[in-house]
Chain A
């Protein structure tokens, strides 16, 4: 049973609104669009306000469409974005995503939304230059709506129920699209409108202005993907890596005839650390490894960071330049994709 929204009256100056929402801990510290009844109704369209997608952790409050719409309005979303927000919340509430862990952990994880398919272009979800950064309303406001929902519906307030030691700028907004037009291997979900949620760290830069071969680019990617300080590799069974290739790096790799599965296999085989390095720090001693890895005694043995090549996701995004990104996951959440139906 969920209560419908109640109303408050606030002086409608921007300063008073911001102060009122900040005092109540209802926002992320940035100005909001006032969620008036009219705006919330417009965001919902024909969708039933009282339909719940389920209980959202860590405070297990019902994620009704009305509450999602309130937060989408506050974030600055256009109503056309709302189906993406709803599909992303549905994806996050699926058990493999482990939203409780993502919300309450000390790790700096944020759900990265990747919008696939024609809807990304229709809505203007940016996949080109600076796609992880500012300047694009759909990316900024869909990503922000998700964060406001996680805080206001889930109850994940920093230091109280969101226990991230330092947090992450990715927790403000984290939403991109695939650069389907520049992907030599096509999109991850051909032709379909889909959103993927990936519980990841902020992007780690892959700088390679020199390599002219797939092996060269992927060696740099592989090295960026491994470090003692990452969760990936230590909590092995749910470790995943998202590789976001810049279009120029992607073209270099494709020119050597590599398919997407070749890249996944290559990185599975090469994104490894020797046992002697793993013994130096990180989570050594409390790692959660399968029996065969725990049995390894050869200090020179190279140990994998993810269970299989399928745990390496490869997409293309970005603009001109010789940069890519690695997004390690938090290792207690698996990527989930959901179709984006009209509401």
Chain B
């Protein structure tokens, strides 16, 4: 939130299972406009290729965020 206020492109990253919590949290903190980056759940206990897929999901969304800010 402080980064966003300072003009730095910022967002929240969550896995699909935690998307609801993340949306509620952004609302409760009064920053619903902050971008939410969502990657496939879970992160733990996954093999490197699965983690790579999630990283690509995050990078794609991050790239879009930076292009459209």
Contacts and interface: CB of A to CB of B under 8 A. Distances in A.
B29 A104 contact: no
Interface in A170-193: none
B28 A60 contact: yes
Contact of B18 (A61, A163, A286): A163
Contacts, number: 22
A35 B7 CA distance: 47
Given A59-B25, A155-B28, A163-B17, 8 more contacts: A58-B21, A58-B28, A59-B24, A60-B28, A60-B29, A61-B28, A104-B21, A163-B18
Interface of B is mostly: helix
Interface in B3-27: 17-18, 20-21, 24-25
A161 interface: yes
Interface of A is mostly: loop
Chain B contact patch, size range: under 10
Contact of A160 (B21, B28, B29): B21
Contact of A163 (B21, B28, B29): B21
The 10 A-B pairs with the shortest beta carbon distances in the complex, nearest first, are A59-B28, A60-B28, A161-B21, A161-B24, A160-B20, A58-B25, A163-B21, A104-B21, A60-B29, A59-B24
Contacts of B18: 163
Interface in A31-64: 58-61
14 contacts: A58-B21, A58-B24, A58-B28, A59-B24, A59-B25, A59-B28, A60-B29, A104-B21, A160-B20, A161-B24, A163-B17, A163-B18, A163-B21, A286-B44
